[in-house]
């Protein structure tokens, strides 16, 4: 306790020197958090866009569907089945069913291969706000034989609201899938390729078209807390009542996205390593200057009988206090900055708007508020600054008292 009091008093004998050291740690933490938040934010947006419009955070399938994604491997799952899943697994907030298959779509004169998707509109909109992508017409009016198609497909087939769309393909177990539908809406799908092919229809209508009554290709599982999707998958796969089905996380269903994120993280890590080196030298320069300025003080203290070990402990405690204060103040300074950019993303300029819009993303640079990287970066910078404390401690033990006292 005495050493702590002595170290605390020593710090404020030279306030300017103390605040310079604290500021070096503060700005190091602030810069590291800013860069990590910016990188995490872009990754979160990437995951959200792919997951929301494709696989979902977790997905339930027939055991055969993963290896052969064909409508013949669609699983039986009606409304009662979905309600049973919610009862058996309380971590699941709701489910999003889909029945998907490829078929030939035709307008009056042109044909295209289309991706027919039967959806429960309320569940789908709750999950990914698909209704907000509507550009013309309505998203199902309650009538019979209605479809909503991508704007790209409408352009390719020369279709507009009220026109007829003919669909011809193969249904469940070889059944013929043919029907004539009315186009009631046009959507701008965030995935450019799907925008050229997508056809949405009510789930019951798609089941009738493909003769796959009460069947879905997969069931998206949306947990109450999205980060618990692995827990949901593990619980389902461990339940013997669901042996005929298999649950997967989005990481298992989107390995390419995982690799992209890992590659991006590797690049960010390299940049952060360079930043840590700069931070380390910056803090070391401050500590070096502080140590050299105090050599005479150290020499006098040792001359009057203070043990080098005790003096080293005081110096260590001083540096510990300054580093701890720098880290805390750095986090405190970063929070309002990151909060501002979280709610006010940085615009990327008009030139990026069209390109980003094709992928369903705004032309802005988003930031993350994931608490994990706050303590990670704080610990790393604190560790770097504490490693540098070895210099003044070693300097105390090697100090030439006579030379230091003459300064």
**Containing structural domain, residue 120:** 55-253
> What's the pLDDT score for residue 363?
60
Residues 99 and 41 in one domain: no
Residue closest to 77 by CA, chosen among 203, 265, 225: 203
Handedness of CA 35, 37, 39, 42 (dihedral sign): negative
Q: Tell me the chain's radius of gyration from C-alpha atoms.
A: 31
Q: Could you give the angle at which helices 15-53 and 255-293 cross, rounded to 10 degrees?
A: 180
Burial of 93 (0-12, 13-18, 19+ CB in 10 A): middle
CA dist 386 and 377 (Å) reads 14
Domain boundary among 236, 253, 270: 253
The size of the chain, in residues, is 407
Answer yes or no: do 40 and 90 share one domain.
no
Instruction: Count other C-beta atoms under 10 Å from residue 123's C-beta.
Output: 19
pLDDT value of position 219? 93
Task: Compute the C-alpha angle 365/150/175, nearest 5°.
Answer: 130
pLDDT at 56: 85
pLDDT score recorded for residue 355: 57
C-alpha 352: how far from chain center: 21
β-partners of residue 36 are none
Number of domains, the chain = 2
Same domain, 189 and 265: no
Q: Do both 45 and 63 map to the same domain?
A: no
Tokens matching residue 281: 């030298």
Tell me how far apart the alpha carbons of residues 191 and 274 are, in angstroms, rounded to a whole number: 36
Query: Model's pTM, two decimal places?
Result: 0.71
> What is the reported pLDDT for 361?
56
Do 300 and 388 fall into the same domain? yes
Final residue before a domain boundary, out of 225, 253, 281 = 253
The widest CA-to-CA distance across the chain, in whole angstroms, is 102
- 383 and 282 in a common domain: yes
Pair type for strands 111-119 and 198-202: parallel
Residues 44 and 87 in one domain: no
* Per-residue b or e along 264-275, where b marks 16 or more CB atoms closer than 10 Å to that residue's CB: eeeebeeebeeb
Residues 210, 305 share a domain: no
Q: Return the H-helix or E-strand segment holding 165.
A: strand 164-170
100 and 221 co-located in one domain: yes
pLDDT by residue, tens only, the chain of 407 residues: 677 787 787 777 778 878 888 888 888 888 888 888 888 887 777 777 778 877 888 999 999 998 888 899 999 988 898 999 999 999 999 999 999 999 999 988 889 999 999 999 999 999 988 888 889 888 887 778 899 999 999 999 999 999 999 999 999 888 889 999 999 999 988 777 788 899 999 999 999 999 999 899 999 999 988 888 899 999 999 998 888 899 999 888 888 878 877 887 787 788 878 878 877 887 777 777 777 777 777 777 777 777 778 877 877 888 888 888 888 898 899 899 989 888 888 777 666 655 555 555 556 678 888 888 787 878 888 888 778 878 877 777 777 766 666 65
- Final residue in a domain of this structure, among 230, 253, 276: 253
Three-state secondary-structure class, residue 246: strand
């Amino acid at each position: 306790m005495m050493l702590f009091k002595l170290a605390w008093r020593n710090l404020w004998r030279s306030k300017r020197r103390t605040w310079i050291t604290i500021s070096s740690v503060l700005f190091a933490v602030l810069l590291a958090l800013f860069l990590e938040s910016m990188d995490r934010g872009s990754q979160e947006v990437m995951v959200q866009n792919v997951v929301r419009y494709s696989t979902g955070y977790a997905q339930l399938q027939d055991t055969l569907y993963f290896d052969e994604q064909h409508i013949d491997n669609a699983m039986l799952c009606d409304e009662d089945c979905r309600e049973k899943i919610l009862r058996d697994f309380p971590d699941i907030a709701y489910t999003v069913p889909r029945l998907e298959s490829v078929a030939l779509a035709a307008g009056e004169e042109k044909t295209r291969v289309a991706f027919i998707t039967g959806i429960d509109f309320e569940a789908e909109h709750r999950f990914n706000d698909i209704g907000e992508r509507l550009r013309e017409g309505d998203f199902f009016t309650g009538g019979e034989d209605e479809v909503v198609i991508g704007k790209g497909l409408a352009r390719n087939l020369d279709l507009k609201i009220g026109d007829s769309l003919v669909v011809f393909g193969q249904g469940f177990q070889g059944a013929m899938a043919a029907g004539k539908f009315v186009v009631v809406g046009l959507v701008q799908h965030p995935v450019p390729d799907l925008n050229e092919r997508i056809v949405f229809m009510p789930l019951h209508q798609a089941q009738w078209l493909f003769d796959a009554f009460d069947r879905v290709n997969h069931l998206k599982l949306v947990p109450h807390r999205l980060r618990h999707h692995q827990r949901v998958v593990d619980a389902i796969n461990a339940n013997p009542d669901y042996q005929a089905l298999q649950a997967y996380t989005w990481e298992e269903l989107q390995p390419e996205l995982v690799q992209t994120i890992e590659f991006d993280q590797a690049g960010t890590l390299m940049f952060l390593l360079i930043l840590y080196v700069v931070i380390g030298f910056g803090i070391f320069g401050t500590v070096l200057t502080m140590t050299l300025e105090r050599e005479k003080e150290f020499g006098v203290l040792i001359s009057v009988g203070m043990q080098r070990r005790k003096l080293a402990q005081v110096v260590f405690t001083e540096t510990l206090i300054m580093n701890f204060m720098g880290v805390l103040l750095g986090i405190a300074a970063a929070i309002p900055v990151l909060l501002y950019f979280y709610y006010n993303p940085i615009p990327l300029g008009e030139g990026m708007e069209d390109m980003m819009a094709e992928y369903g993303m705004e032309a802005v640079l988003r930031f993350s508020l994931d608490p994990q990287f706050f303590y990670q970066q704080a610990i790393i910078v604190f560790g770097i600054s504490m490693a540098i404390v070895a210099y003044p401690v070693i300097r105390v033990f090697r100090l030439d008292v006579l030379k230091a006292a003459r300064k």
